[in-house]
Amino acid sequence: MTTPVQDYTEHTIAATTRRADVARLRSDFPILHRQVRGKPLVYLDNAATTQKPDVVIDAVDAYYRRQNANVHRGLYMLSEQATDAFEAVRESAARFLNARDSSEIIFTSGTTGGINLVAAAFGSAQVRAGDEILISAMEHHSNIVPWQLLCERTGAVLRIIPITDDGELRLDAYTKLLSDRTRMVAIVHVSNALGTVNPIKQMIACARECNIPVLVDGAQSVAHMAVDVQDLDCDFFVLSGHKLFGPTGVGVLYGKAQHLEAMPPYQGGGDMIRSVTFEKTRYNKPPQKFEAGTPNIAGVIGLGAAIDYLRGLEWEAIGAYEHDLLTYATEKLAAIERVHLIGTAPHKTGVLSFVIDGIHPHDIGTILDFDGIAIRAGHHCTQPLMDRLGLSATARASFSFYNTREEVDLLATAIPKIFEVMG
Amino acid sequence: MSDLGELYQEVLLDHNRRPRNFGALEEASHVAHGHNPLCGDKLTVYLKVRNGVVEGVNFTGSGCAVSQASASLMTEGLKGKSIDQVEAMFTKVHNLLTGKSTGAEDTEDLGKLRALSGISGFPIRVKCATLAWHTMHAALTEAADEISTE
Ligand SMILES: Cc1ncc(COP(=O)(O)O)c(C=O)c1O
């Protein structure tokens, strides 16, 4: 009976190395060492925004200190260097998402900016009265409202893919909703409120059969798994830099070249033009066609540093670690009396939404803050989802690879204290 | 630094656990709906005003402890008051919640409502507490159908 011993040893070694790795990763993020109200910060709001490693902060700092110049216009060396650095990030973003070509990468202000761009530019060219846009019941407001605006403008109709009580998309209903009136499927890759990972590859394949384009809201997926837009075969993919360990105010829209060529511009201004006269303006090619005005250069540079940082990590190991953390946290929280987990789909990333009998999520959030624990409480910009689940709000802990089992323990021990405070 | 105990004072917790004057008021003369888009909380305030005097105040809705207790305490505090007194109380409570009260004379006639005093140390939670009061004010002045804290 030597096997169990060996198993145990191997498991211990694996666990130890992992702890060492996480300790090393944590040391890359300066904010994780600060205190809140005299307690070490336990940051469990990674779905709202992720923390930034030194390399990102330093890249932004170095850009402003040594490289700052406008891009795509200066004839002098500084501007050339800034432009090179800026365009190099387009290349690395293309590699990061495995886009065919870097001209398929458009810099935006974030996920919201990307979806609005597609809804406006693609929508105005392709969507007419009576057409349908298909989204799901678990979308973030930013993947609802731009389509509603489009529907208001065009007379198109918004259709909703229903979900189960566990927070899983109803694929049977989805396939039935696809029709020759459907002009776009816009779907969240990972739900920010529930953590559900949607079977987007399968969904895209279904839509492909009817030649319907698909936009994937990847705001919550890119920080937790490898994304390959060619393998997914999606038409558009949007993400936010700040949820990917990069700066706020910058994001990426991937769009298949054929769409970007055919789409009219979104905003007009400098950079997106080839020539302007009062009679006739000729537009630039993609991606510049969709990047009017001076972009968020420092943000893009910071995002590039974040992508480089992530390139040094093993997605498979990260996925396994985060899965373990989620499983651990799920068990810990489910064992606490009065706690109910919201969103129990079989395939999830590290998002744990919960409610407590008789205690409002806002009170949970305030009280946990006194233990240095940062979670989100509210509707998570998913009010239709909350309505579907019969809730007004949830408390949500969301994890990243720098979180630890010890932090989960702190959360689990802090929750019973809420009962004490609230009496 | 503000303390949890200052926010969750016993009176506040009691009113959260057992809200007073909870439920629709059939013979209400003024009604308004309030909404806090930040958290999705909804509140309806019912007032029965006769000859310039508030004869009854009720509320319905759901929300956090702060919003429930503030609404409940408000219903108790307003009963029997004249419209002018309600206006004065509205201002005083607003000052209390936003930390603008200057001295004891500002708060002495607020009675139990002083249990809301700890909220000013929690800026994010101030709107939870003001929702009921703005909704009540809108009902009286018939300003709008729905009041939003934003
Ligand atoms: C799923 C999802 N989509 C879209 C967004 C919007 O992202 P941003 O605010 O960065 O534009 C978020 C952010 O919370 C999100 O979680």
> Residue A160 pLDDT > 50, yes or no?
yes
Ligand 1 centre distance from Cα of residue A136 (Å): 15
Where b means 16+ CB within 10 Å and e means fewer, B80-117 reads: ebeeebbeebbebbbebbeeebeeeeebeebeebbbbb
* Domain assignment present for A394: yes
Residues A303 and A180 in one domain: yes
Ligand 1 centre distance from Cα of residue A243 (Å): 8
Residues A408 and A271 in one domain: no
**DSSP states of A380-412:** TT-HHHHHHHT-S-EEEEE--TT--HHHHHHHH
Helix, strand or coil for residue B116?
helix
Q: Nearest residue CA, atom 12 of ligand 1? A: A219
Q: Nearest residue CA, atom 7 of ligand 1? A: A111
Contact list in A for residue B38 (CB cut-off 8 A) is 378
Give the residue numbers of A marked as catalytic: 381
Residues A232 and A95 in one domain: yes
Residues A92 and A179 in one domain: yes
A136 touches ligand 1 (CB under 6 Å): no
State residue A422's pLDDT score.
Answer: 93
The CATH number given to whatever domain includes residue B112 is 3.90.1010.10
State residue A14's pLDDT score.
Answer: 56
* Domain assignment present for A189: yes
> Which ligand 1 atom lies nearest to the CA of residue A188?
1
State residue B147's pLDDT score.
Answer: 61
* Domain assignment present for A226: yes
**Which residue in A223, A225, A168, A159 sits closest to A194, CA to CA?**
A168
A115 touches ligand 1 (CB under 6 Å): no
State residue B142's pLDDT score.
Answer: 74
A195 touches ligand 1 (CB under 6 Å): no
Residues A305 and A318 in one domain: no
User: Confidence band (pLDDT; 50, 70, 90) for B109?
Assistant: confident
Between B4, B39, B42, which is nearest A362 by CB?
A: B39
Residues A282 and A268 in one domain: yes
State residue B148's pLDDT score.
Answer: 61
Last residue of a domain, one of A311, A326, A360: A311
Identify residue A299 by its one-letter amino acid code.
G
Residues of A with CB under 8 A from a CB of B: 37, 359-363, 366-367, 370, 377-379, 383, 386, 392-393, 421-423
Whether the ω angle into residue A30 lies within 30 degrees of 0, i.e. cis, is no
Q: What is the mean pLDDT of residues A168-177?
A: 98
Query: Any chain A CB within 8 A of the CB of B41?
Result: yes
A183 touches ligand 1 (CB under 6 Å): no
State residue A86's pLDDT score.
Answer: 98
> Which ligand 1 atom lies nearest to the CA of residue A139?
1
User: Confidence band (pLDDT; 50, 70, 90) for B1?
Assistant: very low
Q: How far is CA A217 from the centre of its chain?
A: 7
User: Confidence band (pLDDT; 50, 70, 90) for A20?
Assistant: low
Residues A299 and A394 in one domain: no
CB contact under 8 A, A367 and B4: yes
Where b means 16+ CB within 10 Å and e means fewer, B128-144 reads: bbbbbbbbbbbbbeeee
> Residue B104 pLDDT > 80, yes or no?
no
A108 touches ligand 1 (CB under 6 Å): no
Minimal-distance CA residue of chain A relative to B12? A422
Q: How many domains does chain A have?
A: 2
Residues A250 and A377 in one domain: no
Number of CB atoms found within 10 A of residue A69's CB: 16
Instruction: State pTM to two decimals.
Output: 0.93
Size of interface A-B (CB pairs under 8 A): 51
- Spatial contact of A214 and A203, defined as CB atoms under 8 Å apart: yes
* Domain assignment present for A232: yes
* Domain assignment present for A3: no
* β-sheet bridge partners, residue A14: none
* Domain assignment present for A4: no
CB contact under 8 A, B64 and A362: yes
Residues A139 and A152 in one domain: yes
Contact list in B for residue A37 (CB cut-off 8 A) is 1
User: Confidence band (pLDDT; 50, 70, 90) for B38?
Assistant: confident
Residues A272 and A143 in one domain: yes
Last residue of a domain, one of A290, A311, A332: A311
* Domain assignment present for A1: no
Residues A146 and A67 in one domain: yes
Residues A323 and A360 in one domain: yes
> Residue A90 pLDDT > 80, yes or no?
yes
State residue B99's pLDDT score.
Answer: 87
CB contact under 8 A, A367 and B65: no
pLDDT, tens digit (0-9, with 9 covering 90-100), for B53-96: 999 999 999 999 999 999 999 999 999 999 999 999 999 999 99
User: Confidence band (pLDDT; 50, 70, 90) for A6?
Assistant: very low
Distance (Å) from the C-alpha of residue B9 to the closest C-alpha of chain A?
10
State residue A165's pLDDT score.
Answer: 97
> Residue A16 pLDDT > 60, yes or no?
no
Last residue of a domain, one of A311, A333, A359: A311
Query: Any chain A CB within 8 A of the CB of B64?
Result: yes
A112 touches ligand 1 (CB under 6 Å): yes
User: Confidence band (pLDDT; 50, 70, 90) for A12?
Assistant: low
Residue identified by tokens 């509210």 is A378
User: Confidence band (pLDDT; 50, 70, 90) for B150?
Assistant: low
Identify the domain containing residue A372 by its residue range: 9-53+314-422
* Domain assignment present for A103: yes
CB contact under 8 A, A37 and B8: no
Q: How many domains does chain B have?
A: 1
Q: What is the mean pLDDT of residues A125-141?
A: 97
Identify the domain containing residue B134 by its residue range: 3-148
User: Confidence band (pLDDT; 50, 70, 90) for A24?
Assistant: very high
Residues ≥6 apart with Cβ < 8 Å to A69 = A76, A78, A79, A81, A82
pLDDT, tens digit (0-9, with 9 covering 90-100), for A201-252: 999 999 999 999 999 999 999 999 999 999 999 999 999 999 999 999 999 9
Chain mean pLDDT for chain A: 94
**Which residue in A372, A374, A356 sits closest to A420, CA to CA?**
A356
